Amino acid sequence: MVVVGAGVFGCAAAHMFASQGRAVMLLERWMNEPDRIVGELLQPGGVESLRKLGLESCVEGIDAIPCYGYHVVYHKEDVILPYPETEADGKVKVAVQRRGGARDYSESLNRAKRSTNGSANGSANGSARESDKSNQREEGRSFHHGRFIMKLRKACLNHPNITVVETEVTKMIKGEHSSEVLGVESVTIDKETRKKTPDYFFGQLTIIADGYGSKFREELTGKKPIARSKFYGLELIDCPLEPKGFGHVVIGNASPILLYQIGAHETRALFDVPLDEPAASAAAGGVRGYIQNVAVPALPAAVRPSVLAALADGRIPKSMPNSWLPPTAQAQRHRGVLLLGDAMNMRHPLTGGGMTVALHDVVILSELLHPDRVPNLGDADAVRDAMKVFHWRRKSLSSIINVMAQALYSLFAARDDRQLQILQRGCYDYFERGYTDEPLGMMSGILREPLVLASHFFTVAFLAIYLHGADICKGPLGYWKFPWVALEAVLILWRACVVFLPVCWTELR
Ligand SMILES: Cc1cc2nc3c(=O)[nH]c(=O)nc-3n(C[C@H](O)[C@H](O)[C@H](O)COP(=O)(O)OP(=O)(O)OC[C@H]3O[C@@H](n4cnc5c(N)ncnc54)[C@H](O)[C@@H]3O)c2cc1C
């Protein structure tokens, strides 16, 4: 088979198929270590998939940092959301954290790390499960994306059934009398002479995983991603980020900001900037002006000097579009080819779920396209049947991560929309009340029950309505203002439906 793109999906898929005895050609346009601001926090569900694929060593020896959950800063308040505890069979234990309980947990975690490592940085390489068995919680990992990719590529280069070729794929090769894809055409550059020569690769099945800017997406699916904002990334050096071992989300006065440690000394800061953001217009100083004037004041005071130091080089920070692309069933209009990974499905990176979805997809394919079920990958009917099952089976994880990312982004990015701001406050209050195990279990890819997501989302909406109603009824006229409360309740509920239901609908197809 031919796999296009040695990114997260392509490497994991090539390695899995090769380990099942298939002969794989893995084609990548650029084999040097990628220097990108994407794919730096792997959720516990992704770590678990890596383990299932026999690739868990790829997060070792790269100065990866364990991640125990999230820390949300909302205006001047903050709350810690640890990943939930799990039972021995991986089932999520659900409990309501008492107020402050999560913070006690994070403090005891940091104390334990300081006493075992002699350092609070806690760069860890071993198992992705917290060692204290009485309190077993899954862990994520954050790292430099390029280092992780190079480990995945090394695993492929060392595999006897994989041939890795540095070449840029330009076209699919189709049969003369049908649209069946037989392989791909590419351009290879000679390292010494820099001469470009065409190359041709043929396989029983071609898998295209060429990422967010896929050259082949439109031809194969007819779809284009939608982006409402971009993430601009800075690398902060020795940033005093507390609590350690958590991904940090800053919401309220600026569009969401993410902060997470990616190495013993490096922290990634990602600033979401809406495409129509007036504070990022040329007249207002562009993106650098937005970061300095809007984002930096929203950050915890201890973090601000590191951000200003990273901005001091005067350059525009690296950026990436935050795309939304609902999944497409691989109906095999074009037999012989599959489009997968980010090329087929993307969601806002706010919740760091893309790699977890990609690795989980590979785990599902390892079962559905196993040589015992599909001995010959050239059997297009057998592949089509397997992909029909794939489309629905992946949803237990991918739909949750897709819908959650889009819905939370709408809530967390709200600065001018009154109803969304009310929902935002409701969401923060919900977390503060300690209802975090299931939401965090879903975000981290370990709890896979889409209906649980709907129940939490609408509970947040009703809590927001209740809090807002209570605010209105305070003060003069008290409960006489009930008609106003009822009207506001309808508007808030309507807004929640507008955020949640259209995204859900795209997942039901
Ligand atoms: C700003 C941002 C931050 C993110 N942060 C996170 C995060 O913290 N955690 C997370 O889980 N996900 C995150 N994601 C999403 C994650 O990066 C992607 O879901 C993941 O990288 C998808 O893997 P992929 O293999 O499909 O694509 P990629 O990893 O992009 O790989 C595609 C590969 O194909 C190669 N290629 C492209 N075209 C060709 C061609 N014509 N010929 C040959 N090779 C080609 C590319 O060079 C690349 O190596 C983030 C995304 C963005 C935009």
> How does pLDDT run across 278-296, given as a tens digit for each residue?
999 999 999 999 999 999 9
Q: Whose CA is nearest to atom 14 of ligand 1?
A: 39
Residue 9 Cα: closest atom of ligand 1: 25
Confidence of residue 475 (pLDDT cuts 50, 70, 90): confident
Q: State how far the Cα of 328 lies from the Cα of 222, in Å rounded to an integer.
A: 10
Residue 178's pLDDT is 83
| Mean pLDDT over each residue of the chain, to the nearest integer | 92
Q: How far is the CA of 487 from the centre of ligand 1 (A)?
A: 45
The reported pLDDT for the residue numbered 498 is: 95
Q: Is the CB of 40 under 6 A from ligand 1?
A: yes
Report whether residue 140 contacts ligand 1, using a CB cutoff of 6 Å: no
Residue to substitute in 29, 65, 337 for testing ligand 1 pocket (most ligand atoms within 8 angstroms of CB): 29
pLDDT in tens, 251-269: 988 999 999 999 999 999 9
Q: Is the CB of 8 under 6 A from ligand 1?
A: yes
Whether 125 has a pLDDT exceeding 60, the answer reads no
Q: What is the arrangement of strands in the sheet containing 168-174, beginning at the earlier edge strand? A: 168-174, 181-189, 196-202
* 256 Cβ below 6 A of ligand 1: no
Q: What is the pLDDT, as a whole number, of residue 504?
A: 95
Q: How far apart are CA 244 and CA 261, in angstroms?
A: 8
Ligand 1 centre to CA of 212 (Å) is 6
Q: Is 209 in the pocket of ligand 1 (CB under 6 A)?
A: yes
For the Cβ of 225 lying below 6 angstroms from any atom of ligand 1, the answer is no
- Does the beta carbon of 45 lie inside 6 Å of ligand 1? no
506 CA distance to ligand 1 centroid (A)? 22
- Give the Cα separation of 102 and 226 in Å (integer): 36
Residue 294 Ramachandran class (φ > 0 left, ψ -120 to 50 alpha, else beta): alpha
Report the alpha-carbon distance of residue 124 to residue 106 in Å, rounded. 17
pLDDT for residue 110 = 67
Q: Could you read off the pLDDT of 32-82 as tens digits, one per residue? A: 999 999 999 999 999 999 999 999 999 999 999 999 999 999 998 999 999
- Give the model's pLDDT for residue 92: 86
* pTM greater than 0.85: yes
Q: What is the pLDDT of residue 212?
A: 98
| Reported confidence tier of residue 122, pLDDT bands at 50, 70, 90 | very low
Average pLDDT over residues 285-312: 96
- CA torsion angle 356 360 362 367 (round to 10): 170
Q: Is 2 in the pocket of ligand 1 (CB under 6 A)?
A: no
Beta bridge partners of 201: 184
Q: Please give the pLDDT value at position 120.
A: 37
pLDDT at residue 381 tops 50: yes
Whether the predicted pLDDT of 409 surpasses 70: yes
pLDDT digits (tens, 9 = 90+) for 313-356: 999 999 999 999 999 997 667 899 999 999 999 999 999 999 99
Q: Is 14 in the pocket of ligand 1 (CB under 6 A)?
A: no
- Closest ligand 1 atom to the C-alpha of 258? 8
Assess whether the C-beta atom of 44 lies below 6 angstroms from ligand 1.
no
H-helix or E-strand spanning residue 498:
helix 482-507
Q: What is the mean pLDDT of residues 90-103?
A: 74
Is residue 253 within 8 Å of residue 242, measured between CB atoms? no
pLDDT at 117 over 90: no
Among the residue ranges 109-113, 135-139, 314-318, the one predicted with the least confidence is 109-113
Q: Give the Å distance between the CA of 359 and the centre of ligand 1.
A: 12
The pLDDT value recorded for residue 124 is 43
- C-alpha 32 – ligand 1 centre gap (Å): 15
Confidence at 127, pLDDT banded by 50, 70, 90: very low
Predicted local confidence at residue 37, as pLDDT:
98
**Token pair 């071993």 in the structure block, residue:** 126
Question: How high is the pLDDT of residue 115?
Answer: 59
Kindly tell me if the per-residue pLDDT of 271 is higher than 70. yes
Angle at 134 between CA 133 and CA 135, to 5 degrees: 85
Q: Which of 100-109, 291-300, 450-459 has the lowest mean pLDDT?
A: 100-109
Alpha carbon 461 to its chain's center: 24
Q: Locate the ligand 1 atom nearest the alpha carbon of residue 10 and give its number.
A: 25
Over residues 133-138, the mean pLDDT reads 67
Q: Return the pLDDT at 98.
A: 65
Alpha helices in 394-481 (DSSP H): 395-412, 418-432, 437-443, 450-473
- Of 37, 165, 210, 214, the one to substitute when testing ligand 1's pocket (max ligand atoms within 8 A of C-beta) is 210
> Can you tell me which atom of ligand 1 is nearest the CA of 27?
43
pLDDT band at 177 (very low <50, low <70, confident <90, very high): confident
